[in-house]
Amino acid sequence: METARVGVLFLVAPLVTLLLMDVSNAQIPGFVSLDCGGSENFTDDLGLRWSPDSDMMSGTVANISVANETSKQYSTLRYFPADNNKYCYTLGVISRTQYLIRASFLYGNFDSNNVYPKFDISLGPTHWATIVVSDANTVEMQELIFLATDPYISVCLSNATTGQPFISTLELRQLNGSLYLNQYENQFFLSVSARINFGSASDAPVRYPDDPFDRIWQSDSLRKANYLVDVAPGTEKISTNMPIDVSRDEMPPQKVMQTAVVGRNGSLTYRLNLDGFPGFGWAFSYFAEIENLTSHDSRKFRLILPDHNDLSKAVVNIQENAPGKYRLYEPGYYNITMPFVLSFKFEKTTDSTAGPLLNALEINKYLKKSDGSADGPLLAAVTSAYSTARWAKEGGDPCLPAPWSWVQCSSDLQPRITNINLSGKNLTGAIPVEFTKLGGLVELWLDNNSLSGSIPDFSGCPNLRIIHLENNHLTGDLPSSLANLQNLRELYIQNNLLSGKIPAGLIRKDLLLNYTGNGGLHKGNKGKNLGLIIGLPIGAAVILIAIIAAILLMPKGKKKFHKKEGKPPHRLPSLSDTAAEAAHCFALSEIEEATKNFEKKIGSGGFGVVYYGMLKDGTEIAVKILTNDSFQGKREFSNEVSLLSRIHHRNLVQFLGYCQEDGKNILVYEFMHNGTLKEHLYGPIARGRRLTWIQRLEIAGDAARGIEYLHTGCVPSVIHRDVKTSNILLDKNMRAKVSDFGLSKLSVDGASHVSSIVRGTVGYLDPEYYISQQLTDKSDVYSFGVILLELISGQEAISNENFGSNCRNIVQWSKLHIESGDIQGIIDPALRGYDIQSMWKIAEKALLCVQPHGIMRPSISEVLKEIQDAIAIEKGADALRDGSSDEISRHSAHSSINLGSLDLTPGDNYLSIDDSIAGPAAR
Ligand SMILES: *[C@@H]1O[C@H](CO)[C@@H](O)[C@H](O)[C@H]1NC(C)=O
Ligand SMILES: *[C@@H]1O[C@H](CO)[C@@H](O)[C@H](O)[C@H]1NC(C)=O
């Protein structure tokens, strides 16, 4: 076809050839775009030239097909075994030049395994990122800006914890100015966290050819889970077609600077998640005046960052710093601490007439470079001499992040090479002299090769223990320096061409020396001396093992095995003194009648079975018969009665009385028509009528209020100790109440904790309480955090299947996702019509609740406040959705809550959120 065209356009042929060259052959200077697993060169719609990685990489190719990602480079990937090795791409670069490198990963369930892979990517010896796939159909991307120090770089995949490591694309872009130059660049890389184009009309990112360096500027209208939430009212997008001077350095492309947001009400606010943070970062903002301000107008504003009051002093004045219109001003910070969740605000100064403006923002995290193995350069010299051999092409650092297959390393921060195993690798020529300079070397295996020449001096390797040089073509004498190696225990040199006398120092009792098959080598007095040394090292090892075993077997913290005798057992109020007088006492006959002789069982758990009943006056009741064959049961009973009779709150299941007759311990509660939260999340009910997000929030709010009352409204305060979804009950109106104080205990007055036997439910149990046995109200907060995670995800607290292969626990699983910014990965797929902001708020609070240490967890009141904020957001979003404002509803399609479908009575009772927070003493 090309020939035909050239033929037809004969006269302009030179021009045509030139054009063809340009679009289809020439790589853009300084760009490398690898289509991993690809099979041919091609040019994509942007004009980027992709090449396959087949001649530079081992591994296996897989073809995938993902509906929403149809670019050719994402139709293939390359994957690697989940072993202890690393798999490296080596790319040529220009030393002392800055580059952007970008790796991307589209899982596409290539292994038909649906186990989302998790593995590490490194640049040379430096850990770059842990790749966590959380969606089979979404591209994960990582970018670094770095200063090349060598003529090549290695990008390595290793350390798969789930699935197999894989990669879809690898892109290298040479930078060309000084924007990213900084004083830290010799010790740090910049890991790209956010690069945002504000005011963009579309979701599409801006990149090449608009950006000559092919940086990807994400649109601020792309409000994905962790991105740009909490936008202030009055935020407006503006744009211009006028040219903007972006010719300096690597300024953002004109297309990015031609759009902006302005805060018409005087402020701009955003919240976004910064991958990799908290840490030190490089943060720059880009401004260009693109509105027609009159001469009376001014636009001055300040940056407000939590925990950075000092920064608010500086006033941004674009006019002053970039006089004239359409010029660029880029204030920023070369080294600023940033949190993971960044909330920032630009606020106009009081004397400014116009609100703040923002065109673009870039935030990168400093990533400390690893020095790599101290022996790296020595081994590089060896491998370059064998450049065609497979073992010499493993790439990257010999030790980090995983050692080459033929190397073992010490575990120091800057590791040293301890073992080299190149047995049977077709080595020729002399023994590489670099090996004799490896100060940490302990074992050297070079047997079964074709090495020639003489054995070098190994004095530089004082730790050498084992040397295997047998079955080579080595010639000459055995160097006497070998005898000086104090640690040498094994020297195998048989079947070589060695000659001369064995140095006297090598004829030792503790050295295993095999020198047979060397015609000319002799001991001087003839005779064999093999196999003597083994006793010593084994003896040492046995002693070491014994010591280790002793340490391991030694009981740690003896506390664990001893009762705390100092403290008298906590005194429980007995039936006779406190409880009985306050609580109503039912006759057994009354209860038998109400329950029709315990006809209808409605639940079991805790310390007994629960039956449905109806009193003569029509009151429906739940009757709990305690299993009273244990002392524990009795204690729980009296405990519960005394507590319950004194605790009243609209969000706690009401206690109506008790009965202790005929050897039976019975508790009577109000009947809760809609069962437990657990049933609504996971039971058969759940399948038919799912709780909406706002209902879940309301339930969480109710339960939090109940717990708040226990913690703050009772004197002494009460720790529930068994907060879980099956202990949150729902009434006719779907209002939630907390039930089952069977495990509750009065907290010791004034003390911050009570110690007692650990009880609770697996999956909800505060790990700190479990370890220390010190119970505080923060243990309830932990359990409540687990409930919040269940509400978000629709997943039970513990599952053998749902959280991937090596995670059974909702806390670990959610943490992984939320901390990597992927909230979407845990949201219950059954949920529709939620606002991502409220989801995000709850997720963040939930993670705080399940912090390992109680002291780091919020109080239940703080959690409650967050739930109320989330409800307010939902209601606001709902109003917006109803008013069909497309801007937000696009991201959380679907409508208001369908109260009708749940037989709710949406009366004031249900809809009032705030009326009961004022005072805990409700009823
Ligand atoms: C940034 O500043 C902190 C302390 O002010 C310092 O420890 C750190 O090394 C600096 N640079 C980087 C790249 O983190
Ligand atoms: C060594 O070289 C021979 C001949 O060139 C070849 O057949 C053999 O596969 C090589 N072995 C290794 C381990 O490279």
Ligand found nearest the CA of 392: 2
Q: Is the CB of 425 under 6 A from ligand 2?
A: yes
Is residue 720 over pLDDT 60?
yes
pLDDT-derived band of residue 478, with 50, 70 and 90 as boundaries? very high
Q: Which residue has the tokens 């073809």?
A: 63
pTM exceeding the 0.85 threshold for the entire prediction: no
Whether the bond into 278 is cis, omega within 30 of 0: yes
Ligand found nearest the CA of 183: 1
Is residue 278 over pLDDT 90?
no
Ligand 2 centroid, distance to 387 Cα (angstroms): 15
CA distance 454 to 489: 21
Residue 273: predicted pLDDT? 84
Q: Which residues contact 63 (CB under 8 A, 6 or more apart)?
A: 37, 75, 76, 110
pLDDT-derived band of residue 638, with 50, 70 and 90 as boundaries? low
Residue 527: predicted pLDDT? 44
Is residue 101 over pLDDT 70?
yes
Ligand 2 centroid, distance to 153 Cα (angstroms): 29
- Residue among 388, 393, 426, 471 to mutate when testing ligand 2 (max atoms within 8 A of CB): 426
Q: Whose CA is nearest to atom 9 of ligand 2?
A: 426
Alpha carbon 199 to chain centroid distance? 30
Residue 921: predicted pLDDT? 31
279 CA closest ligand 1 atom index: 14
Q: Is the CB of 450 under 6 A from ligand 2?
A: no
Residue 613: predicted pLDDT? 92
335 CA closest ligand 1 atom index: 1
* Residues whose beta carbon lies within 6 Å of some atom of ligand 1: 184, 188, 280, 335, 366
Q: Whose CA is nearest to atom 10 of ligand 2?
A: 426
Q: Is the CB of 391 under 6 A from ligand 2?
A: no
CB atoms within 10 A of CB 868: 17
Q: Do the Cβ atoms of 170 and 101 come closer than 8 Å?
A: yes
Q: Whose CA is nearest to atom 2 of ligand 2?
A: 426
Ligand 2 centroid, distance to 663 Cα (angstroms): 86
Residue 276: predicted pLDDT? 82
Residue 905: predicted pLDDT? 28
pLDDT-derived band of residue 225, with 50, 70 and 90 as boundaries? low
Ligand 1 centroid, distance to 312 Cα (angstroms): 21
Ligand 2 centroid, distance to 474 Cα (angstroms): 19
Is residue 467 over pLDDT 80?
yes
Ligand 1 centroid, distance to 762 Cα (angstroms): 43
More confident residue, 111 or 607: 111
More confident residue, 778 or 19: 778
Q: Do the Cβ atoms of 283 and 337 come closer than 8 Å?
A: no
Residue 732: predicted pLDDT? 85
Q: Which residues contact 808 (CB under 8 A, 6 or more apart)?
A: 798, 799, 800
Q: What is the DSSP string of 76-118?
A: EEEE--SSS--EEEEEE--TT-EEEEEEEE--TTTTS-----E
CA distance 763 to 813: 12
Is residue 748 over pLDDT 80?
no
Helix axis angle for 777-793 and 860-882, nearest 10°, is: 20
CA distance 194 to 134: 19
Is residue 923 over pLDDT 70?
no
Is residue 646 over pLDDT 80?
no
425 CA closest ligand 2 atom index: 13
Residue 568: predicted pLDDT? 34
CA distance 238 to 200: 8
Ligand 1 centroid, distance to 333 Cα (angstroms): 12
For the annotated catalytic residues, the residue numbers are 722
Q: Label residues 438-448 b or e (16+ Cβ within 10 Å = b).
A: bebbbbbbbbb
Which of 287-296, 316-325, 740-749 has the least mean pLDDT? 740-749
Residue 631: predicted pLDDT? 38
Summarised one tens digit per residue, pLDDT across range 539-586 is: 344 444 444 444 444 443 333 333 333 333 333 333 333 434 456 888
Q: Is the CB of 426 under 6 A from ligand 2?
A: yes
Q: Is the CB of 63 under 6 A from ligand 2?
A: no
Q: Whose CA is nearest to atom 7 of ligand 2?
A: 426
Computed over every residue of the chain, the mean pLDDT equals 81
Ligand 1 centroid, distance to 343 Cα (angstroms): 21
pLDDT-derived band of residue 375, with 50, 70 and 90 as boundaries? very high
Residue 659: predicted pLDDT? 85
**Range among 19-28, 534-543, 597-606, 859-868 rated most confident:** 859-868
Ligand found nearest the CA of 369: 1
Q: Please provide the distance, in angstroms rounded to a whole number, between the alpha carbons at the two ends of the chain.
A: 85
Residue 688: predicted pLDDT? 65
Ligand 1 centroid, distance to 194 Cα (angstroms): 20
pLDDT-derived band of residue 738, with 50, 70 and 90 as boundaries? very high
Is residue 845 over pLDDT 70?
yes
Ligand found nearest the CA of 448: 2
CA distance 680 to 321: 59
Q: Is the CB of 255 under 6 A from ligand 2?
A: no
424 CA closest ligand 2 atom index: 13
CA distance 562 to 459: 56
Q: What percentage of the chain has pLDDT greater than the value 70?
A: 80
Residue 805: predicted pLDDT? 73
Summarised one tens digit per residue, pLDDT across range 487-546 is: 999 999 999 999 999 998 898 778 999 999 998 888 765 444 443 333 333 434 444 444
366 CA closest ligand 1 atom index: 13
Which of 34-43, 316-325, 903-912 has the least mean pLDDT? 903-912
Q: Which residue has the tokens 């002793």?
A: 550
Q: Whose CA is nearest to atom 12 of ligand 1?
A: 280
Nearest to 846 by CA among 831, 825, 821, 867: 867
**pLDDT mean over 391-411:** 94
Summarised one tens digit per residue, pLDDT across range 751-795 is: 344 444 556 677 888 888 777 777 788 999 999 999 999 999 999
Summarised one tens digit per residue, pLDDT across range 77-94 is: 999 999 989 999 999 999
426 CA closest ligand 2 atom index: 1
280 CA closest ligand 1 atom index: 14
- Residue among 145, 181, 280, 337 to mutate when testing ligand 1 (max atoms within 8 A of CB): 280
Q: Whose CA is nearest to atom 10 of ligand 1?
A: 335
More confident residue, 275 or 354: 354
Q: Whose CA is nearest to atom 11 of ligand 1?
A: 335
187 CA closest ligand 1 atom index: 13
Q: What is the DSSP string of 200-252?
A: -SSSSPB-TTTSTT---BEETT---TTSSB-PPTTEEEEE--S-----STTPP
- Residue among 146, 190, 335 to mutate when testing ligand 1 (max atoms within 8 A of CB): 335
Ligand 1 centroid, distance to 335 Cα (angstroms): 6
Q: Whose CA is nearest to atom 13 of ligand 2?
A: 425
Residue 10: predicted pLDDT? 33
Q: Which domains does the chain have, with CATH numbers?
A: 2-187 (2.60.120.430), 193-366 (2.60.120), 422-553 (3.80.10.10), 575-670 (3.30.200.20), 686-877 (1.10.510.10)
**pLDDT mean over 872-878:** 80
